[in-house]
Structure 1
């Protein structure tokens, strides 16, 4: 039922955007190779570089915070938030090096629907096994305790029991080193050497072991764009909001202990818009405008992004605080609905005009 509702809505939006006219055949095939090169150079590598830089700062901050053997959360809160901001800007790039060695889940094991982090963290703190915190052993251990959610609990949990553990500082340092290592490896895999993933994407036009052609590589970026919106609609807003105000559960939100659930959403939307617009000569937006009647659809997508950004700018960073405001649930539900409408524009009209069959991606069915 939901699928057909979305399909009908997407068709309606497209007709409105294009003045009720049927799309004619495209004048020329989009330049997928140019798009791939532009997105790699202007978006992917700069944002992974920022992630690597900020996780290095986070690790250094944690070392300073643990100088006296006790974890002082306030000393590392700013570095944590900066690193988390950088992660939010690449969180939707769930392909290529990000899926190697369980990197994605090791950075952020979320949503944690079965309380895996709580159980594994409690076991680790009670056993006090420092050998399990050595870099290799830690990286090969439970993914639930290796990344941002576990560090968030160490830094922002209201209770002091976790931070009071003798293992709190060693664990925080292990997480900091792990995040720095993963972020550095992601950047290196994308950027460095003749066999870098940047070269894999850029050479897709000739065919390689990852992509049949440039169009297939462009499809990865289109799916990542849709994935960013799906994360927001279904997980970051859908799960904590529920179907009505009475069913809202703020503890289901991402980063709720750090009071930044909506800050994450705002950055996700900004990142999706940046991926769509691009900063180089070629972007999904520019390719769309080159197609017959594509300019109207591009305007509709741009307007949807503007509405979302304006709505989120008016919200606090904490979803819990937003829910306590007058009509708080209704306003967030409106953001969720607007996100869904934008996702429909991408999944249907944009997908058809640019001949990129987005379909499902790695977030569907999680």
Structure 2
């Protein structure tokens, strides 16, 4: 693997010289933007809305008929909902940014567990003002998304959800969160599907466009979304949790650790980058001599999956095991390689400098 990274680094340096860079492939950009919207963004949000709607239904079924079976179904649907979210998490722009929808859907990282404590207070105090999708809209973003729903379904005392009358309020709160998420995700999906909505902002750049003057600027932001996601996963979901050594690891702050979905969510995050790159056909902006880039990106992400497979059974335990931590080091190396493929090589060959992103300096 070090050899592969060395070759990639050399190619990036070669691409940086004006004499070797290709002309800006502006003709490919409109199609890349259109394909990214129609083949990746819209289907991704449509699935998120569908999974949130299904979560609402299974949560209602759990409350109506508490049992081990209905609790298991609710927890299983939660895993599907996390997967759907994790595949659009990289989209930090557009309709999801209106009214703090992004944070409403998933408030993470929850620094100093301030959000968790709010959720715990609602459940412990049986706060009726938090019941109902409309009521939750007026509450903190931290108590109406995936983190809150995870604690309701998997946190301390959640097993009582399977017992009739043992956790009625907790179940109604979980159902309210699911209903709120279904409404929020549905609004985001609807906004992306409107012909005159935010899609038009990306598809029709120009002097009258309030955000983009050219399709190249749009592609630039799409590239930034991919590189940001890899940095987000690397720095916040792995490095910050690993600590300097095994003794310094903090598995308790890992995303979705109560549900045992930390690695599954990270895999979906990373796979979403490859899916966006391929479904958007970003490679079409480069010449035949650069066709290898898609395979390089697929290789790096394949290495991420292979290494994560070694720690998937118990991510928390792996963080405190020096031998297992070596696999996480390999994950970090491959994530860096994947980020370089897009952020340095691709950006260099197209002339679309990405520059700083929202996670630089975190």
TM-score scaled by structure 2?
A: 0.88
Instruction: Give the secondary structure class of the aligned counterpart of 2:107.
Output: coil
- Give the equivalent residue in structure 2 for 1:179: 181
2:306 is the counterpart of 1:304: no
- Give the equivalent residue in structure 2 for 1:330: 326
2:8 is the counterpart of 1:13: yes
Instruction: Give the secondary structure class of the aligned counterpart of 1:259.
Output: coil
In structure 1, what is the Cα distance between the partners aligned to 2:141 and 2:15? 50
Match of 2:58 among 51, 56, 61: 61
CA contact (8 A) 1:260 1:319 kept: no
2:41 is the counterpart of 1:39: no
- Give the equivalent residue in structure 2 for 1:254: 255
- Give the equivalent residue in structure 1 for 2:140: 142
Offset of 1:205 from its aligned partner? Answer: 5.1
Offset of 1:301 from its aligned partner? Answer: 3.0
Offset of 1:160 from its aligned partner? Answer: 4.6
- Give the equivalent residue in structure 2 for 1:112: 110
- Give the equivalent residue in structure 2 for 1:3: none
Instruction: Give the secondary structure class of the aligned counterpart of 2:111.
Output: coil
CA contact (8 A) 1:288 1:295 kept: yes
- Give the equivalent residue in structure 2 for 1:191: 193
In structure 1, what is the Cα distance between the partners aligned to 2:16 and 2:219? 27
CA contact (8 A) 2:52 2:178 kept: yes
In structure 2, what is the Cα distance between the partners aligned to 1:296 and 1:136? 50
CA contact (8 A) 2:12 2:344 kept: no
In structure 2, what is the Cα distance between the partners aligned to 1:310 and 1:206? 47
Offset of 1:11 from its aligned partner? Answer: 8.8
Figure out how many residues of one structure are paired with residues of the other and give that number: 352
CA contact (8 A) 1:285 1:298 kept: yes
RMSD: 2.8
CA contact (8 A) 2:25 2:285 kept: no
Return closer, same or farther for 1:28/1:147 CA change in 2, 3 Å cut-off: closer
In structure 2, what is the Cα distance between the partners aligned to 1:57 and 1:266? 22
Offset of 1:272 from its aligned partner? Answer: 0.7
- Give the equivalent residue in structure 1 for 2:342: 346
Offset of 1:247 from its aligned partner? Answer: 1.3
Q: 1:102-251 maps to which residues of 2 (within 5 A)?
A: 102-160=100-158, 166-192=168-194, 194-204=195-205, 207-251=208-252
Offset of 1:144 from its aligned partner? Answer: 0.7
Offset of 1:130 from its aligned partner? Answer: 1.7
Offset of 1:287 from its aligned partner? Answer: 1.7
TM-score scaled by structure 1?
A: 0.87
Match of 1:99 among 97, 100, 103: 97
- Give the equivalent residue in structure 2 for 1:6: none
